[in-house]
Amino acid sequence: MARTIHPTAWVDPSAELEDDVVVGAFAVVGARVVVGRGSSIGAHVVVEGPARIGDETHIFPFATVGLPAQQRAPLAGSEDSLLVVGKHNVIREHVSIHRGTGGHETAIGDHNLFMAGCHVGHDATIGSYCTLANGVQIAGHAVVEDYVNFGGLSAVAQHVRVGESAFVAGGAMCERDVPPFVIVQGDRARVRALNRVGLERRGFTKAQIHTLKKAFRAIWVQRALPPTVAAERLAIDHPLVKRLVAAVIPAPPPVDDRF
């Protein structure tokens, strides 16, 4: 089907809009933007490139997508830095998502919901099936894995990783990595419980959740040892537990081969 572009919208001649794309009133679609089939760009939305927006992604009024990074460093040289947004995302009002820096990209997966007022900084990576409630702030270079849910007004600092199927409670301030499968809460955010409800909704079996619960108790509840030591000594041979343990045990420092 044909594209629908409101007469007050401005679409750069170099932009590529696939079939069924709708562009609303006073929206701006800039140079080197590709918008996938069936997507919609709402009224007053600004999309700058280079950026690729996947199929069936819907951007609501006053969102800004693909603008340069917020940084003090000169923006020159970041013209080829990219934003890649996957398929079936919903980006609500006043969300801001910035593209990468230094030739790198900001990457968004599929089937995510960004509620009003969220921010995703430059060079960040968001997986798939994530929900960011109103006002969530993801700093530059942060990594959010699949199936993570954020409560409103929570935040993730630069270079922090949030593991899969974690739940970040409302108002939580994450300044250190969040392990997968857990709930974190507070300022500063700390591990509080296993995200049992989230795992059930994702389709984990009772046996899988029971195994993760045993591992969680051994690492964080019994408190006989620091969590890193308890994780190292954990004797549960299960792939999900191994992913949990890998996130708790700090990685070794890089080897300096100059000597």
CB-based burial of residue 206 (10 Å sphere; 0-12 exposed, 13-18 middle, 19+ buried)?
exposed
φ/ψ region of 45 (left if φ > 0, alpha if ψ in -120 to 50, else beta) reads beta
Catalytic residues: 122-123, 140
Question: By 3-state DSSP, what share of the chain in percent is helix, strand and coil, each rounded to 5?
Answer: 15, 25, 60
Angle (CA) 58-64-68 rounded to 5° is 130
Quickly tell me which residue has 């750069």 as its tokens: 12
Cα 246 to Cα 115: distance, rounded to the nearest angstrom:
31
Strand partners, 35: 17, 53
Closest CA to 212 of 238, 192, 232: 238
Strand partners, 90: 58, 113
User: In sequence order, which residues have a C-beta less than 8 Å from that of residue 197 and are 6 or more positions away?
Assistant: none
Cα 107 to Cα 126: distance, rounded to the nearest angstrom:
6
